[in-house]
């Protein structure tokens, strides 16, 4: 038996002989060996539990190493519940020591942390939640969404889901990382650097909050990190694009150039397109995307990456809030997750799919939106874009279920992680069968069969892609004619996600 296998067996022996083994009572034995009879001596209740035997076939070492290692993996997985009893799943709240860096209302900003001792990987997540662009708009937000503007009522602990989960079944590649959740309480798309003023009545310090959290994390183990993944959803996803290079530069300036900073932007890649139906700009929902950001940047004193800002005339730095304009100037690797038919994008474009029949002009607008977004992603090295009608993904428990071209998002992220690791090693060939650029080609909302479930808002019943389109009043016969195919063929394509 070679030394590598012996080391694995010794490690498993230590696990089995550890303090947890008296609770789980799992043992291994050679296949064919009789399970020893229990000795009739006095034992504790925990020890009185029946011993669960796990047979290992050592003959596989000589005949088939892969088979033997599969058995080892199975045993290790069976031991996981035992070791998991010792893990702390909750993220604990830490308010910033620097109380000058605050939420909108002047209360201290902060972060939630789940430490993973021994791990050199850190995942720092930026929460999303729209924004406000005027004093009246922010007053309304404060009265209706105070948790996004103040830390006064934040819970002492949070449990993460999706990529923030500490369960390997839900989060196969990042479950054992140090996980940080930064609550969104600045209403500025993580871009502001302005203390509270009499004119606005609020502080806008999103960019400064990120910098201050990084400083405090260095004292909690980040100084020993190998990788820092700055992730975020919605406004947090845009915040990733705006801040990922700034975090990398901050760490380098503080003497930590060896920490590899990467970005994961989820549902924050918006288009500055024309609205389907123009309305007066009253708040963030009614304003056209460009006008809302223009007003916001002025109101927040928002910061954008310098390399992007230099590409535009003075006062036009709002362009850098749109991913496809900002991305080419970024130096840090970024993975973009974006629904081709994002609900937030459709909302600001004044397209409301509420179960009423969709007009042909709306349908054409929606298709154009999907095409435009798909085009903006063609030069993005790492992306996952499913043709679904939804918003946000990476923190949802179903994030492993969505697939594009047969690949799930966790798998694509793992491939991206490996490609970045291998790119630092000269002479390594590109990985085969491990894609990182995954964009659906089907042209309609929910034409991907793995899309999140849509329910009829009146009956609550689940709908598939065909039912959803018919629910909105689409004429399948006419759609097929437009595509130059038979209706039955079109229905088959929709059902299979072709």
Cα separation of 191 and 214, whole Å?
A: 15
Q: Which of 342, 349, 417, 440 is catalytic?
A: 342
What H or E segment, with its residue span, contains residue 337? strand 334-337
- How many contiguous H segments (helices) and E segments (strands) does the chain have? 16, 18
User: What DSSP letter does each residue of 238-293 carry, written as one string?
Assistant: HHHHHHHHHHHHHHHHTT-TTSEEEEEEES--------SS-----STTTS-HHHHH
Cα separation of 91 and 18, whole Å?
A: 26
Q: Which of 391, 437, 446, 471 is catalytic?
A: 391
Token output for 14: 């230590």
Contacts 24+ apart (CB under 8 A), 67-72: 68/5, 69/8, 72/8, 72/9, 72/12
CA distances from 71 to 60, 76, 239, 409, 439 (A): 10, 9, 44, 27, 36
391 is catalytic: yes
134 is catalytic: no
Backbone angles phi, psi at 224, to 5 degrees: -100, 10
Q: Which of 24, 234, 265, 267 is catalytic?
A: 234
53 is catalytic: no
336 has which bridge partners? 265, 383
Side-chain-side CA neighbours of 128 within 13 Å: the count stands at 22
Cα separation of 14 and 21, whole Å?
A: 10
Catalytic annotation, residues: 234, 342, 391
């Amino acid at each position: 038996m070679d030394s590598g296998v012996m080391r694995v067996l010794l490690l498993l022996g230590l696990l089995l002989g550890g303090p947890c083994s008296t609770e789980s009572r799992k043992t291994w034995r050679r296949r064919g060996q009789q399970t020893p009879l229990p000795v009739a001596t006095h034992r504790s209740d925990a020890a009185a539990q029946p011993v669960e035997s796990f047979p290992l076939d050592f003959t596989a070492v000589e005949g088939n190493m892969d088979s033997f290692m599969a058995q080892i993996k199975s045993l290790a997985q069976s031991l996981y519940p035992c070791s998991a009893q010792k893990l702390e799943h909750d993220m604990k709240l830490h308010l910033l020591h620097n109380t000058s860096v605050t939420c909108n209302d002047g209360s201290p900003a902060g972060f939630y942390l789940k430490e993973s001792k021994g791990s050199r990987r850190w995942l720092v997540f930026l929460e999303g939640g729209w924004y406000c662009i005027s004093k009246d708009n922010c007053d309304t937000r404060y009265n209706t969404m105070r948790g996004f503007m103040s830390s006064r009522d934040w819970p002492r602990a949070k449990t993460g889901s999706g990529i923030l989960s500490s369960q390997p079944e839900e989060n196969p590649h990042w479950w054992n990382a140090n996980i940080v959740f930064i609550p969104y309480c600045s209403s500025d798309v993580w871009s502001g650097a302005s203390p509270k003023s009499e004119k606005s009545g609020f502080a806008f310090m999103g960019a400064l909050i990120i910098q201050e959290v990084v400083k405090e994390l260095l004292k909690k183990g980040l100084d020993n990190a190998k990788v820092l993944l700055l992730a975020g959803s919605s406004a947090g996803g845009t915040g990733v694009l705006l801040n990922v290079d700034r975090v990398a530069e901050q760490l380098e300036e503080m003497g930590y150039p060896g920490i590899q900073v990467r970005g994961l932007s989820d549902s924050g890649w918006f288009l500055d397109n024309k609205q389907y139906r123009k309305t007066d700009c009253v708040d963030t929902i009614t304003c056209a995307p460009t006008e809302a950001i223009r007003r916001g940047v002025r109101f927040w004193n928002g910061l954008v990456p310098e390399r992007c800002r230099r590409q535009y005339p003075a006062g036009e730095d709002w362009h850098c809030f749109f991913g496809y304009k900002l991305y080419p100037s970024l130096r840090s690797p970024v993975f973009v997750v974006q629904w081709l038919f994002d609900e937030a994008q459709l909302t600001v474009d004044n397209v409301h799919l509420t179960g009423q029949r969709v007009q042909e002009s709306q349908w054409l607008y929606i298709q154009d939106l999907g095409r435009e977004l798909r085009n903006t992603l063609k030069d993005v090295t790492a992306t996952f874009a499913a043709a679904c009608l939804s918003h946000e993904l990476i923190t949802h428990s179903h994030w492993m279920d969505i697939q594009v071209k047969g690949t799930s998002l966790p798998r694509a992220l793992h491939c991206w992680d490996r490609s970045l690791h291998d790119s630092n090693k000269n002479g390594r060939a590109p990985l085969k069968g491990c894609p990182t650029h995954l964009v659906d080609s089907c042209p309609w909302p929910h034409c991907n069969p793995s899309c999140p479930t849509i329910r009829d808002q009146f009956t609550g019943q689940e709908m598939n892609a065909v039912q959803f389109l018919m629910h909105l009043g689409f004429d399948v016969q006419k759609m097929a004619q437009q595509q130059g195919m038979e209706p039955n063929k079109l229905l088959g394509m929709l059902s299979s996600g072709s």
